[in-house]
Structure 1
Amino acid sequence: MKIWKKVLIVMLAIILIGALGVGGFIYYKLKAIMPDTQIEAQVQKQYIEEVKTSSKKTLDFSPFEKYMGKISDERYKELEKLLLDSDVAQIQEGFENKVYSVEEVTCFYLKRIQKYDNKLNTIIELNPDSIEIARALDKELDKGNINGKLFGIPVLLKDNIGTKDKMHNTAGAKALENSKSDKDAFIVSKIRKSNGIILGKANLSEWANFMSFDSSNGYSALGGQTHNPYGKFDVGGSSSGSAASVAANLTPISVGSETAGSMIYPSSQNSVVGIKPSLGLLSRDRIIPIAEAQDTAGTIGKSVKDATILFNELVGYDINDVETEKAKEYENIDYTKFLEKDGLKGMKIGLVVDEGVVGRYRNEDKEILDKVVQDLKNLGAEVKEVELGDEAFNINYMNVLLHGYKNDVNQYLKNIGSNDIKTIEDVVKFNKEDLENRAAYGQGLIEMAQEKNFTDEEIKKEIENNRKVSGEAIDKVLKDNDIEVLLTLSNYISGVYAPAGYPAITVPAGYRESGEPLGITLVASKFEEEKLIKAAYSYEQGTKKRKEPDMIVE
């Protein structure tokens, strides 16, 4: 077989990891299904053959009813006009100018959730204390105290991020329906310190898409099937609820997580901005893992500015996550300073054109990308075609994920203490009691992880090799071509930047003729988020490609 054909096959597998989770990767690698057919299969699952089970939770609005009742239909429409076109900073200006209260803003988003989420399924659980938190902030507002960059701003968390409150932390799994974290995740404590309001928990591809060989993006037993607010398009995974909820204006900002494409792909599919940080900038403590070798939390907003504001608040060293030792050097950086409208002037960008990428383009990709390149040039950037090389696309990190899932999930369950489910072996047994409702797409990946036995030394060597190969491929092409960032579409090179632990950002680039959203993705060397923020913000402000969904969901 010719080398380019080998590369193409491997790249197919890599792309599918990011798009569908590793379960989809295995299934579709064997089937060798082409991109548009693969996407059609996902749409079929998500809309035509949508799975509905008795496990799905119903959102509880009873704690908020008396407060939500205060907002008349007329006032709701006023708030809609005031808030939907506002970014985080502008919402806070409204607080300062007494245009609305924190309570009103929180109630507004709860009312939108009540109105639309029964069709979208972006949220698994609401925080019953959210209004009380808002009312406490209003008291501070009355005193003239607006402390924190997230003051009064509702934030949704992917339901694998632990909170020490009345909410659960489930990864969408029926087995963890009653599971609670023993403490706030480190990044949650930072949101609270910044006076953000944890609005609730967002739906996700169950176990962050590490569950079955033939999964549906955005499906979990507890959350049901998340839908794309732009229409019957693949919602993406695994941070599907985090992305779709922001797109539908059910929350201003949200937090997701990524192992390989799980932030970038759903953000691209739902026309929002997603920041996947360098491994080590954001703590993973009390976040249900796949494999800590690649896992990171990330941020989502309708704009680069909003996603950056949230990211800026979450960066920091956590003694409970050794990977964040490096964050000590970056936690005092104000990343919002890199929101420069002319940030692309003189910037050198490399368009990745390896056969493994170009050969995976879907219909219309080339035409959209040609327009992107022209836009970048019009905004002052230099764009040249580059190749990462065959070796970058020959990385196989499946064993790392299998070993990580088995060990890291077991460690998480041990850390949180009291819980009926102690190990993933318990998860497997629990699901087998009612597979139809608890594991509708099976649990082949969980079972494989349970059965596989690798030594820590074997996996350590594999992690180090993957990081070396992928990281050096990115750094070499940047250096040899005298460029600052790489450019591609959606999650087409998530299989390269993810094992390297390098950062990526996706920004809306337009829509296919069908109306399906598509984003460009920029990748930089490790800890060079400032370059991505500069380039992404400049492109966003110079093109204004994003448009609101019409919210017609059948």
Structure 2
Amino acid sequence: MIRSAALGLALTLATAGGAAAQLSPYASAGEQQAALTDGRVTSEQLVRGYLERIERIDRAGPKLNAVLALNPKALDEARRLDAERRAGKVRGPLHGLPILLKDNIETADGTPTTAGSLALAANAAGRDAPLVTRLTDAGAIVLGKTNLSEWANFRGNRSISGWSAVGGLVRNPYSLDRTACGSSSGSGAAVAAGLAAFAVGTETDGSITCPAAMTGVVGLKPTVGLVSRTHIVPISPEQDTAGPMTRTVADAAAMLNVIAGTDPTDPATREADARKSNYLAGLKRDALKGARIGVWFPWKGRSSQTDAVFETALQALRDQGAVLVDVKAPDEATLARIGELEGDLLRWEFKAALDAYLATTPAAVKSRTLADLIAFNRAEPRELALFGQEIFEAAQAKPPITDPAYREKRTVARKLARDSLDRMLSEQTLDAIVSPSGGPPSIVDPVNGGPFFGSPSRLPAVSGYPHLTVPAGYATGLPVGLSFLGPEWSEARLLALGYAFEQATRARREPEFLPEVAARPDIARAYDPR
């Protein structure tokens, strides 16, 4: 049995000169920065320590498959940033800290951006996405790229979350047979396993918040338009966004301070500079006092342990002075209509956005259109070994997005989603709405799939509104998250509320890297008491 006692030990941070220090792999970014500031560690030591831990845990040991590629320039960058620190130049809270990026985000470090597909194995574009430039300008060190659900879970109807042809299956560090959800599976699993303090995920609908909840970390899907999407492999310009995945709310706020902002090449971000704020400075332990919080739980009863975690979370909110209000949810017909429209629209948008992206890739990438990718997959047995490409084929059959029917449907979908959230928020003058982020992670089952307990992600996804998930508790050792939903541009308020909940509950626990839930001693004894 693999236990956390063997894997949760301090990083051994040694330099060539023989000096050594120790630091928990689960240290927050703030704790890491404090250790750098007082000279207990260097950035070079941090990078070496995490590279060793990735080799020991991700590539061997439990073999999480969370990290696809390592930045060959990471150590050089660490040494350069250490020199800056010695010279008295510190760029901010991220200076000298390693960070991981989902492998649909371009970097200029020579590693390809594959979106998990063998068709993009040669996609070393030699350019940084603007959000990457913001991170490196702030002193962050790109450690590498994380595995993901191939094409961000947008290829086949029976896709396996966390699987890609390039990297295989991401395993959940709490129980290796359980899903890490998707599509930012590797980012969530890597942060949960202490392979870095920060990772960047991307979301179209649930792809940050679901893996964050199911791997016991903090995940924020920002308002669409707060963070640049340029040079990120797309699904939908109407719903796509990147966002932080971290172990603490403060770390998520620190990252958002850096990556939020206007990008002239992404028109959706035109308001970002005017709308962003100092998210880290806005965190207050008493933020829940007097806050009016709506309670939304339309799938109550599908998981009794999730129900219990949620009730405990609600009591914690009350204990911190929040006023809880039951909200009137949209009717089932409205929710079903939003889901139907979203599925149709994403296929429409994917074809146009992906063809435009592929046209900008290096000449070494031979698949230049969605039609080319479909042909590539048919010819490559490794791609279709587990599931098909029905979504690709449906998207290829869509007419151009210049078709008036497309714009009419998108307008209707966004209005239905925004009206639904706005009504819930405004009728009771709410600061936010809370809901379980989902149920506990299910067993990965390539035959029948796993149970779906429900998720609040669709309304914020289609409306473009923000969605924060924070660890809330555990179901037989498996993580359950608490979601905070709010209106457009309400990231500062949601982070403050999530921070107050986090500080009051301290719910997050380190993973045990168990092969299965049945390996827990209490369950193993019950299974075989003799």
Specify if TM > 0.5.
yes
Greater CA deviation, 466-475 or 153-162? 466-475
Using the TM superposition, give the Cα deviation of residue 472 of structure 1 relative to its aligned residue in structure 2, in angstroms.
1.3
Choose the corresponding residue for 1:398, options 339, 343, 353: 343
Other-structure match for 1:201: 145
Q: Secondary structure at the match of 2:304?
A: coil
Q: Which residue of 2 is the match for residue 12 of structure 1?
A: none
The corresponding residue for 2:458 is: 495
Q: Aligned residue for 1:225?
A: 169
Equivalences for 1:435-514 in 2 at 5 Å? 435-437=381-383, 440-456=386-402, 457-491=404-438, 492-513=455-476
**CA distances 1:50-102 after superposition (whole Å, capped 9, x unpaired):** xxxxxxxxxxxxxxxxx989598x94xx52xx243532122112112111111
Q: Deviations over 1:156-198 (max 9, x none)?
A: 0000001122111110001101112252111011011101000
Match of 1:362 among 291, 295, 303: 303
Do the aligned partners of 1:83 and 1:91 also contact (CA within 8 Å) in 2?
no
Match of 2:179 among 234, 256, 260: 234
Counterpart-to-counterpart distance in 1, 2:208 and 2:27: 23
Partner of 1:382: 323
Distance in 1 (alpha carbons) for counterparts of 2:16 and 2:192: 26
Shift of 1:475: 1.0
Alignment correspondent of 1:180 = 124
* Alpha-carbon distance between aligned partners in 2 of 1:452 and 1:131, rounded to the nearest angstrom: 46
Measure how far apart 1:392 and its partner are.
4.1
Q: Shift in Å at residue 455 of structure 1?
A: 4.1
Please list the CA deviations of residues 211-258 of structure 1 after superposition, one character each: whole Å capped at 9, or x if unmatched: 111111100000110000001322111100000000000011000000
The SS at the match of 1:364 is helix
Asked if 1:290 corresponds to 2:235, the answer is yes
What's the TM-score once normalised by structure 1's chain length? 0.83
| 2:209 aligned with 1:264 | yes
Residue 95 of structure 2 is matched in structure 1 by: 151
Aligned mates of 1:322, 1:453 — CA distance in 2? 24
Structure 1 unaligned segments of length 5 or more: list them. Answer: 1-66
Contact 2:349 2:401 survives alignment (8 Å): no
Q: Which amino acid aligns with 1:358?
A: K
What amino acid does structure 1 have at the position aligned with 2:99? V
Q: Cα–Cα, structure 1 residues 271 and 71, in superposed 2: closer, same or farther, change >3 Å?
A: farther
Residue 211 of structure 1, aligned match among 155, 158, 168 = 155
Distance 1:216 1:137 in 2: 39
Structure 1 position 148, deviation (Å): 2.9
Residue 527 of structure 1 aligns with an amino acid whose one-letter code is: W
- CA gap 1:182/1:138 in 2 versus in 1, 3 angstroms: closer
Alignment partners' CA distance in 2, 1:353 and 1:91: 37
Given that 1:269 and 1:517 are in contact with CA atoms closer than 8 Å, whether structure 2 keeps it comes out as yes
Q: Is the 8 A contact 1:293 1:400 kept in 2?
A: no
Q: Give runs of aligned pairs for residues 5-16 of structure 1, distance below 5 A.
A: none
- The verdict on how the C-alpha distance between 1:381 and 1:133 changes in structure 2, with shifts beyond 3 A counting, is same
Structure 2 residue identity aligned to 1:518? V
Larger mean Cα displacement after TM superposition, 104-113 or 419-428: 419-428
Q: Distance in 2 between matches of 1:68 and 1:201?
A: 24
CA distance in 1, matches of 2:43, 2:116: 29
Assess if the C-alpha contact under 8 Å between 1:435 and 1:442 holds in 2: no
Structure number with higher helix proportion: 1
How far is 1:437 from its partner? 4.6
**Aligned-partner Cα distance in 2 for 1:87–1:142:** 22
Q: 1:372 maps to what in 2?
A: 313
Q: Name which of 105, 111, 132 aligns with 1:161.
A: 105
1:88 and 2:29 aligned = yes
**Whole-angstrom CA distance in 2 between matches of 1:207 and 1:287:** 11
The structural deviation recorded for 1:367 is 1.5
Decide whether the 8 Å contact of 1:393 with 1:496 is kept in 2: no
- One-letter amino acid matched to 1:252: A
Q: What SS does the corresponding residue of 1:358 show, helix, strand or coil?
A: coil
Q: Does 1:278 align with 2:240?
A: no
Alignment of 1:399-438 (within 5 A): 399-418=344-363, 419-437=365-383
* Offset, 1:265: 0.5
What residue is the counterpart of 1:548 in the other structure? 510
5+ residue gaps, structure 2: 1-12, 439-454, 517-530
Contact 1:137 1:152 in 2 (8 A): yes
Give the TM-score, by structure 2 length: 0.87
What is the CA distance between 1:450 and its match in structure 2?
A: 1.1
Give the partner amino acid of 2:69: E
1:420 to partner: Cα distance: 1.6
CA offset at residue 394 of structure 1? Answer: 2.7
CA contact (8 A) 2:110 2:126 kept: no
2:84 counterpart residue number? 140
DSSP 3-state at the match of 2:187:
helix
Q: Would the alpha carbon gap of residues 439 and 186 (structure 1) be closer, same or farther in structure 2, given more than 3 Å must change? A: farther
Query: What secondary structure sits across from 2:472 in the alignment?
Result: strand
2:195 match: 250
Tell me if structure 2 keeps the 8 A contact 1:353–1:387: no
AA aligned opposite 1:227: R
Q: Secondary structure at the match of 1:338?
A: coil
Equivalent residue, structure 2, for 1:63:
none
Alpha-carbon distance change, 540 to 156 in structure 1, aligned in 2, over 3 angstroms: same
Given that 1:68 and 1:111 are in contact with CA atoms closer than 8 Å, whether structure 2 keeps it comes out as no
> Percent same amino acid at aligned positions?
35
Measured after TM superposition, the shift of residue 416 of structure 1 is 3.0
Distance 1:105 1:335, change over 3 A: same
Moved more, 320-329 or 246-255: 320-329
**Whole-Å separation in 1 of the counterparts to 2:115 and 2:399:** 24
Do the aligned residues in 2 keep the contact of 1:164 with 1:183 (CA within 8 Å)?
Answer: yes
Give 2:51's aligned residue: 110
Matched residue type, 1:380: G
Greater shift, 448-457 or 280-289, is seen at 448-457
